Amino acid sequence: MYRSNVLVCGGTGCTSSNSLKIVEKLKEEIKAKGLEKEVNVITTGCFGLCALGPIMVVYPEGSFYSMVKVEDIPEIVEEHLLKGRIVTRLLYQETVEEDTIKSLNKTAFYAKQKRVALRNCGVIDPEKIDDYIAVDGYAALGKVLTEMTPEQVIQTILDSGLRGRGGAGFPTGLKWKFAAANDADQKYVCCNADEGDPGAFMDRSVLEGDPHAVLEAMAIAGYAIGASKGYIYVRAEYPIAVKRLQIAIEQAHEYGLLGDDIFSTGFNFDIQLRLGAGAFVCGEETSLMTSIEGKRGEPRPRPPFPALKGLYQKPTILNNVETYANIAQIILNGADWFASMGTEKSKGTKVFALGGKINHTGLVEIPMGTTLREIVFEIGGGIPNGKKFKAAQTGGPSGGCIPEEHLDVPIDYDNLIAIGSMMGSGGLIVMDEDNCMVDVAKFFLEFTVDESCGKCTPCRIGTKRLLEMLEKITKGQGTMEMLDEMEELCYYIKANSLCGLGQTAPNPVLSTLRYFKDEYIAHIVDKKCPAGVCKELLQYTIEKDKCFGCGMCAKKCPAGAISVTDYTAPGKKKPAYEIDSSKCIKCGACIDTCKFKAIFKG
DSSP-derived letter for residue 305 is P
- Are β-strands 427-432 and 349-356 bridged in parallel, bridged antiparallel, or unpaired? parallel
315 Cβ contact list (under 8 Å, min separation 6):
179, 182, 184, 187, 188, 225, 227, 306, 307, 308, 309
Q: Is the model more confident about 121 or about 561? A: 121
The H or E element spanning position 499 is: none
The H or E element spanning position 470 is: helix 462-474
Q: Which amino acid is at 172?
A: T
CB atoms within 10 A of CB 342: 24
Instruction: Report d(CA 428, CA 224) in Å as an integer.
Output: 33
Judged against a pLDDT cut of 60, whether residue 567 lies above it is answered with: no
Instruction: Report d(CA 85, CA 90) in Å as an integer.
Output: 12
Judged against a pLDDT cut of 60, whether residue 569 lies above it is answered with: no
Q: Could you report the per-residue pLDDT of 5-51, keeping only the tens digit for each?
A: 999 999 999 999 999 999 999 999 999 999 999 999 999 999 999 99
pLDDT band at 101 (very low <50, low <70, confident <90, very high): confident
412 Cβ contact list (under 8 Å, min separation 6):
342, 343, 345, 346, 368, 369, 423
Q: Could you report the per-residue pLDDT of 444-478, keeping only the tens digit for each?
A: 999 999 999 999 999 999 999 999 999 999 999 99
Strands, DSSP E only, in 218-266? 229-235, 259-262
Instruction: Report d(CA 15, CA 211) in Å as an integer.
Output: 17
The dihedral of CA 279, 284, 289, 295: what is its sign? negative
The H or E element spanning position 460 is: helix 457-460
pLDDT band at 83 (very low <50, low <70, confident <90, very high): very high
Residue 338, SS3 per DSSP: helix
Alpha carbon 306 to chain centroid, angstroms: 26
242-258 mean pLDDT: 98
Judged against a pLDDT cut of 80, whether residue 100 lies above it is answered with: no
171 Cβ contact list (under 8 Å, min separation 6):
158, 161, 162, 163, 164
Q: Which of 450, 470, 462 is nearest to 495 (CA)?
A: 462
Q: Could you report the per-residue pLDDT of 497-523, keeping only the tens digit for each?
A: 999 889 999 999 999 999 999 999 999
